[in-house]
């Protein structure tokens, strides 16, 4: 990234308002025309601990977080101690005058003088940051008005006054910090994190039933759905546990709804029998698994990519499935739509694997073109011959005509035991073979519809960084750094990790001089899957499983 980039880290204890400051500043930067990548690092507690909200902003494209800090906003003394070694040569610290700067260059802000009440100290911090970044104050004061308008003009005026006072105080300090260069004006941009984009993608695909049991970092998918539920007529249900959440979704799907379930690894482990039930019932359901480090509770608020094996093999018996893994917020939207479409089209459970980093990472994105989305098929509401209807009719594709019960005279019968084509329980072993063959024939259709991995750059004679999911941004930046050093480099990103389409990537791997898999787990789960399925063996493996997201520097140090 060029000198136009800046990395701002706001650190402090949970409950000190660092997220409020970070979200305000991020939104102001996006409205001003800058690109952002936000990384949120927080501990599993309501108050206390040390958390950070990091904003990497650039007047050009930015794809990943970075370790180096240009502006360190310390809401606690601990923040200075933890992060002072990461401050760049041009870096500044901004801290409460009562805390002090610990010998670092920067501004000791008299928050108590600038804010009549501690409640407004967030606005004082925004004023100081706005001055250092040379942001047009109107971007922030406009946001203040939007945020507090419902609380009355007095609240708006009080917050604006503190912001303006801090802005003037910071400008008077004449701190030597290079302002952000003006960004090239772009069209309207949205600010979304990954889970919001997943929710919007699902809703755009017609999701009208959401069920969940709260579990970080998957919960905010459904929270985003709830934000739009009244307007769209979407039913959102918090179940008594994860088992019930998935079974509710299957019941809703049977009745004609289009369900979305969101959870994380431990919650998904409880859902596994329901996944198998979806396979036997041939009931469409889309399940979002937001990964975090395990096993068990592990690091519940940190990131990892270690649930691929779990999702790939979840459920007893054999049945087809598809697994998507978005790498950007834009892909979160489009692959969520694709996942719902795939579940409906093939009447199978479909998974969307994201992780805490992407779930909590705000980005600036162009508005989505809803008119360009393909229509998602609906189940039948009537058939020509109700008396002859068979829910599990044997077809060449394995996909049977799916009828919503109760809307026509036909009887819709389903069973979790092996069943006949009309849905009745059977122990006829010949019928068992017929029905299992029918279900598994859907695998061919899923493979034909699978998305090939994206190739970024020319792989001929290059170092090829293969990755999946949220590792994309760091891999792209690492490849760009290699090219700037004069080395050939490319990236192969798997946005769908099952079914695999070997013809779409084996030739790419063969053209590379060196192949390195980069993934956020300890054993290289996708590398092992590719070797098992295709025989492809990577020359190197870069893994990360300390709970933090990949950065370009982390990858480059290990190549």
For the chain, the residue count is 559
How do residues 81-99 score in pLDDT, each as one tens digit? 999 999 999 899 999 998 8
Amino acid 3: pLDDT: 58
Region 531-535 average pLDDT: 97
Residue 148 pLDDT greater than 50, yes or no: yes
426 pLDDT band, cuts 50/70/90, is: very high
- Structural tokens at position 239: 């179940």
- In Å, how far are 201, 304, 473 from 261, measured between CA atoms? 13, 20, 26
Amino acid 50: pLDDT: 86
Amino acid 2: pLDDT: 46
Up-side HSE of residue 226: CA atoms within 13 Å toward CB?
12
Q: Name residues whose C-beta falls within 8 Å of residue 330's C-beta, 6 or more positions apart in sequence.
A: 197, 365, 366, 368
How do residues 326-345 score in pLDDT, each as one tens digit? 999 999 999 999 999 999 99
297 pLDDT band, cuts 50/70/90, is: very high
Amino acid 468: pLDDT: 98
The residues that bridge with 425 in the sheet, in sequence order, are: 419
Residue 1 pLDDT greater than 50, yes or no: no
For residues 502 and 453, is the Cβ–Cβ distance under 8 A? no
Q: Which residue has the higher pLDDT, 556 or 15?
A: 556
- Structural tokens at position 198: 């997943």
- Structural tokens at position 170: 């910071």
Residue 186 pLDDT greater than 80, yes or no: no
Region 120-142 average pLDDT: 92
Amino acid 182: pLDDT: 86
- Residue whose tokens read 């993608």: 201
120 pLDDT band, cuts 50/70/90, is: confident
Q: What is the DSSP string of 205-255?
A: TT--EEEE---TTTHHHHHHHHHHHHHHT-EEEE-SSHHHHHHHHHHHHHT
How do residues 346-383 score in pLDDT, each as one tens digit? 999 999 999 999 999 999 999 999 999 999 999 999 99
Q: Which residue has the higher pLDDT, 188 or 464?
A: 464
Up-side HSE of residue 106: CA atoms within 13 Å toward CB?
29
Coil/strand/helix, residue 128? helix
The Cβ of residue 178 has, within 10 Å, a number of other Cβ atoms equal to 13
Of 179-193, 386-400, 485-499, the poorest mean pLDDT is in 179-193
How do residues 190-224 score in pLDDT, each as one tens digit? 999 999 999 999 999 999 999 999 999 999 999 99
Region 505-516 average pLDDT: 98
Residue 267 pLDDT greater than 50, yes or no: yes
The Cβ of residue 190 has, within 10 Å, a number of other Cβ atoms equal to 17
The percent of residues above 90 in pLDDT, for the chain, comes to 89
How do residues 477-489 score in pLDDT, each as one tens digit? 999 999 999 999 9
- In Å, how far are 11, 138, 170, 552 from 93, measured between CA atoms? 11, 24, 13, 24
Calpha distance 332→354 (Å, rounded): 8
For residues 270 and 242, is the Cβ–Cβ distance under 8 A? yes
């Amino acid at each position: 990234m060029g000198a136009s980039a800046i990395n701002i880290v706001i650190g402090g204890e949970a409950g000190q308002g660092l997220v409020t400051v970070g979200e305000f500043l991020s939104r102001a930067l996006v409205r001003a025309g800058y690109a952002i990548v936000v990384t949120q690092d927080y501990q599993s507690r309501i108050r206390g601990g040390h958390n950070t909200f990091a904003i990497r902003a650039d007047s050009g494209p930015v794809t990943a977080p970075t370790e180096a800090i240009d502006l360190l906003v310390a809401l606690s003394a601990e923040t200075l101690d933890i992060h002072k070694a990461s401050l760049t040569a041009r870096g500044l610290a901004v801290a409460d005058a009562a805390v002090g700067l610990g010998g670092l260059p920067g501004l000791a802000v008299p928050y108590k003088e600038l804010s009549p009440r501690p409640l407004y100290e967030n606005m004082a911090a925004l004023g100081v940051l706005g001055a250092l970044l040379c942001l047009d104050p109107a971007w922030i004061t406009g946001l203040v008005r939007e945020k507090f308008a419902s609380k009355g003009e007095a609240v708006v005026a009080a917050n604006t006054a503190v912001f303006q006072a801090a802005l003037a105080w910071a400008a008077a300090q004449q701190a030597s910090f290079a302002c952000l260069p003006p960004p090239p004006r772009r069209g309207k941009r949205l600010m979304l994190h990954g889970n919001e984009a997943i929710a919007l993608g699902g809703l755009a695909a017609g999701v009208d039933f959401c069920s969940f049991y709260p579990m970080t970092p998957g919960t905010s998918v459904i929270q985003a759905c709830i934000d739009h539920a009244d307007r769209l007529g979407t039913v959102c249900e918090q179940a008594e546990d994860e088992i019930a959440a998935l079974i509710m979704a299957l019941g809703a799907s049977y009745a004609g709804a289009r369900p979305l379930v969101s959870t994380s690894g431990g919650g998904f482990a409880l859902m596994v029998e329901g996944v198998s039930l979806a396979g036997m019932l041939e009931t469409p359901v889309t399940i979002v698994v937001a990964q975090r480090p395990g096993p068990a509770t592990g690091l519940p608020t940190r990131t990892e990519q270690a649930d691929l094996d779990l999702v790939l093999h979840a459920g007893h018996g054999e049945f087809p499935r598809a697994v998507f893994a978005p790498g950007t917020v834009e892909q979160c939207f489009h692959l969520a739509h694709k996942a719902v479409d795939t579940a409906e089209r093939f009447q199978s459970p479909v998974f969307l694997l994201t992780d805490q980093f992407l779930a909590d990472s705000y980005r600036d994105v162009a508005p989505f073109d809803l008119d360009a989305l393909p229509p998602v098929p609906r189940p039948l509401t009537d058939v020509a011959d109700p008396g002859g209807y068979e829910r599990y009719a044997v077809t060449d594709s394995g996909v049977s005509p799916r009828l919503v019960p109760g809307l026509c005279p036909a009887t819709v019968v389903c069973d979790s035991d092996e069943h006949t084509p009309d849905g009745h329980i059977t122990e006829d072993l010949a019928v068992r073979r017929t029905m299992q063959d029918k279900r598994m024939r859907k695998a061919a259709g899923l493979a034909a519809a699978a998305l090939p991995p994206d190739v970024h750059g020319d792989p001929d004679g290059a170092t090829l960084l293969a990755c999946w999911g949220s590792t994309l941004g760091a891999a792209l930046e690492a490849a760009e750094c290699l090219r700037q050093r004069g080395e050939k480099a490319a990236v192969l990103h798997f946005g769908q990790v099952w079914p695999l389409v070997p013809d779409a990537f084996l030739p790419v791997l063969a053209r590379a001089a060196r192949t390195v898999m980069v993934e956020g787990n300890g054993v290289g789960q996708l590398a092992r899957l590719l070797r098992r399925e295709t025989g492809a063996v990577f020359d190197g493996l870069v893994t990360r499983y300390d709970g933090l997201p990949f950065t370009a520097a982390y990858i480059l140090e290990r190549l």
